[in-house]
A and B are shown apart, each in its own frame.
Chain A
Amino acid sequence: MSAVENSADWLGARLARKEDLRLVTGQGRYLADIVLPGMLHAVFVRSEYAHARITGIDTSEAAAMPGVVAIFTGADFKDTVKPMPQPVVKPNLPARYPTFWPLAIEKVKFHGEPVAVVIARDKYVAEDAAECVYVDYEELPVVRDPEQALAADSPLVHEEDGSNEIFAMTLTGGETPEEQAANAAAVEEIFQRADVVVAERFRCHRTGITPMEPRGVLCDWNDSDGLTAWITTQRPHIDRLALSDLLEIPAEQVRVVAPRDQGGGFGVKAPFYRENLAIAYAAKALRRPVRWVESRYESLMNVGQERDQINDLEIAASKDGKLLAVRNRGVADNGVGTTGVYWGFVMPFLGAVELPNAYTWERGDVSLRCATTNKAALTPSRAFGHFPTRFALERAIDMVAHKLDMEPAELRRRNLVPSLPYTSVTGEYYDSGDFVKVWDNLMAQVDLPAFRAEQARAREEGRYLGIGFACGVELSGVASELLVPMENQPGYGAATVRLDPRGKVYVFGGDAPGGQGHETTTAQVVASLFGIRPSDVVVTTGDTGTTPFGSGSIGARAGSYFVSAVAKACAELKDKITRILAHDLQIEASVQHFEFTNGEIIYLGDAAKRKPFTEVVERIIMFPINLPEDEVGGLEHTAFFEAAKPMICFNADCCIVEVDVESGNFSIKRWVTSEDVGTVINPNIVDGQMHGAIVQGLSNAMFEEFVYDEQGQQMSADFEHYKLATAADVPDIEITYAPTPCPHTPLGTRGIGEGRPSSVPGALSNAVCDALRPWGVEITDLPLRPGSVWQKLREARG
């Protein structure tokens, strides 16, 4: 830890985290560590088929096993639990929302779908009994390929919907069909006259960000308090409303607690899941605590699957290197879609919106179709929605540069949005920052002419080096303007700040982090504003019983929306503290005339007039007499923050690789970045967010892949087959900064980290293609592995 001399300097200090002591000594409390007296264990029986009619379920043998308390099947839910969709988990986007219950009824629609749940006194017994639940199936044709799924003669996943097209949209400039047609025609006209056109089909495989802690839920019921549910969740307040609505339990009788320690979320813990509903129902029905801890096998079969998309992308450019128009036709493999809040298609929707990235297109024509298939629903994964579109765009830009015989880095710089604010051709608002500054900082880290010289020398020796670039505009929080239509939820941040008579500060937030260090960064903000120490600040998140409403730990909300609400609440309290202090000191002064520093409040007009922070706080809370007129005692405030328009952060990546042209093996020699993260609260934490995101991007791009066979069987449901990057697989990473404080947040902070993996596959594959320029290899598909590089090289060599 660096020494912090002035308490104002807590903002920006490389402080060791408050969370760490308990986590390095085994004292963390994750969901699976919570035990209640009389707690029962749940195990789900899951579908063995991708698509089949259920013709019978025999639970008799399992039910007779000693220790088995209950077995529920779909029939138990059909008439007692409201089906989804329900408004609280349904976006304001027009779509064919499938109807579903916690357990499959009549038909199973993907391999791994829950069919029954066994509740037993012991988890080993529950697993034994689950093996003895016999389900008879009549197999149905499997809908596996998203383009075939959209054909008129395809079998249907959700028969009642009459189509496998769950969602379709077009972002073609304008609100009316006439305006959109006119824009599409104008885009076509640009393509007709353009000097250079690149048109390619880009494929991104099914992958995502699997957290190390799988999902879990523990529910407890009693007749006076109702339901208490501990859930691995990023959005406890949404889960609470959903449980109340679907189980028809009055809202005041539902409390959801996201454990303080969660083993990562990355979007996977953001949806409202059917398993939560089943366990809550069981706890209520049995009047016993019931816990389900997801196995890794179940997790990999059900969640963390995203990206899966085909993009037919076209770029028109002029011969002097001006990007003119972008046109994209996306088809997403939505999977079954039976997941609350997201339904599989909300991610591809945002991915289409974010396609244009940081470049100044004259026009764009972007559309998307999402196809229901007999696979697990797409669930959110960090770089929500835009991993495949960003890969396609950044790859296509290099292909334009190759056609123009121009440095890809130079082509990018010429076309970066030169000044903000700016609204993209798909209508996304970029509020502030300096893309060119970030880009130039990246280029200052990389001596491109020297690299080209080294590359040329290496080629003479038969060694193939390559350099690749990509950049990314990312959301910094999600404004209500976007989140209400997209997810039917508000975007504002909310925080309650409470002071106690000992001068300690308690912060309550309704989001639910999973490792991002909220306790530390929030404490640094509070400490810097009140002139106290971070150790004097206690942060509570995730408990709907004690925290103000929050839409959850999603979309980089903490550094943008949550800490901004905290800062606003602190400002209100400082106002009150100084009003009363000025009155006590018998001076005419307000908050701007005082400094809060090193545990004291000092009157700037006369430094002799100062009081310890703790003394003033205690006076206001405990001795509320002789107060100014109309003033009352007590120090607690809840503040809400919302920016008028959406906010962003920005980053750029450079990757250098060496490719073995005989085997296709490639190794990353260097990874260097440039980041606009606004005002930094804790550089360690920001560095760590970037490292993690980039390695997630690399792991997704090179290793991880969910594989379904011809029958829709999930073939990659363990870590032997779904490979995550290990320490030996990935390089060291150099993070550099070129920040512009955000003018729309009280501290200049930006929310960071969520979208960060998205520029990684572009930079990586651009580097590999750069190394293979002698053969003109252009990579269009992910994952990028030695085998695919070797295949491309073989094709290129003829």
Chain B
Amino acid sequence: MKTITVTVNGTSYEESVPERMLLVDFLRDRLALTGTHVGCTYEGVCGACTVHLDGEAVKSCMMLAVQADGHAVTTVEGLAGADGPGPLQRAFSNSHGLQCGFCTPGILMNMSDFLARHPDPSDEEIRSGLVGNLCRCTGYVHIVRAVREAAREMREGASGVQA
């Protein structure tokens, strides 16, 4: 067992964890943050477990909880602002970018990082940015549309054209 200090969604936690505990299990089983999902055999292919580590998208099934010691983690539960769901989350609903919703938290975490680095992406860039996330329901068409719409709204918001 090892004691770690991790900031998750702005709250600092000091927890004693087995060294072998995966970060995704720490988030789900210890902190009850069940929005982060497991869709593959901890092989990092499905992307449903994607969270932010110090602002960067990572797959929480590919990390141990002890590796997050001293770092800041954001999960999908921490993605909404004080005013409720943010532009990316709203765009996924408005564009019908989700069906069963199981892959959605990981996609939102990956795409929020992606949009921070690519504020005006082409559809091809969006598709390429999504290769680390599997979705079985949507055929990706509405996901691409949602990311495009979110990018537009975030750009317009940032330039003050439209809040």
Contacts and interface: CB of A to CB of B under 8 A. Distances in A.
A224 interface: no
Contact of B141 (A209, A261, A733): A733
Interface stretch (A15-23, A85-93, A569-577, A786-794): A15-23
B60 interface: no
B159 interface: no
A296 B18 CA distance: 23
Given A26-B36, A727-B143, A719 B134 contact: yes
Contact of A25 (B37, B79, B136): B79
Interface residues of B, number: 55
Contacts of A21: 85, 93
A730 B123 CA distance: 12
B43 A718 contact: yes
Contact of B144 (A20, A211, A692, A727): A727
Contact of A24 (B43, B93, B135): B93
Contact of A688 (B79, B104, B105, B142): B142
A30 to B, nearest CB: 7
A103 interface: no
Contacts of B127: 726-728
A33 B34 contact: yes
A685 interface: yes
B102 A26 contact: no
Contact of A124 (B18, B33, B128): B18
B142 A687 contact: yes
Contacts of B139: 688, 691-696, 730, 733
B100 A515 contact: yes
Contact of B43 (A27, A517, A719): A719
A695 B134 CA distance: 12
A20 B43 contact: no
B4 interface: no
A295 B43 CA distance: 11
Query: Which of the listed residues B41, B102, B135 has the most CB atoms from chain A within 10 Å of its own CB?
Result: B102
Interface string A690-725: 011111100000000000000000000011100010
A30 B102 contact: yes
Interface string B136-150: 111111111000000
B33 A726 contact: no
B8 to A, nearest CB: 12
Nearest to A731: B141
B103 interface: yes
Given A25-B89, A719-B43, A720-B43, A691 B142 contact: yes
B131 interface: yes
Nearest to A298: B41
Q: Chain B at the A interface: mostly helix, strand, loop or mixed?
A: loop
A719 B40 contact: yes
Contacts of B104: 23-24
A535 interface: no
Contacts of B85: 21, 24-25
A542 to B, nearest CB: 14
Query: Which of the listed residues B20, B34, B80, B137 has the most CB atoms from chain A within 10 Å of its own CB?
Result: B137
Interface string A262-304: 1110100000000000000000000000000001110000000
Query: Which of the listed residues B33, B75, B76 has the most CB atoms from chain A within 10 Å of its own CB?
Result: B76
Contacts of A695: 138-141
A407 B137 CA distance: 34
A660 B96 CA distance: 35
Contacts of A515: 98-102, 137
Contacts of B89: 24-25
B36 A124 contact: no
Interface string A1-16: 1000000000000001
12 contacts: A17-B93, A17-B96, A124-B18, A209-B136, A211-B102, A297-B41, A687-B141, A693-B139, A718-B45, A724-B136, A730-B139, A732-B144
Interface of B: 18, 20-21, 28, 33-41, 43, 45-46, 48, 75-77, 79-80, 85, 89, 92-94, 96, 98-105, 108, 123, 126-128, 130-131, 133-144
Given A24-B76, A727-B143, 10 more contacts: A17-B93, A20-B93, A24-B93, A29-B34, A30-B102, A516-B99, A688-B141, A719-B46, A730-B140, A732-B123
Interface of A: 1, 16-17, 19-21, 23-30, 32-33, 124, 209-214, 261-264, 266, 295-297, 514-517, 684-685, 687-688, 691-696, 718-720, 724, 726-728, 730, 732-733
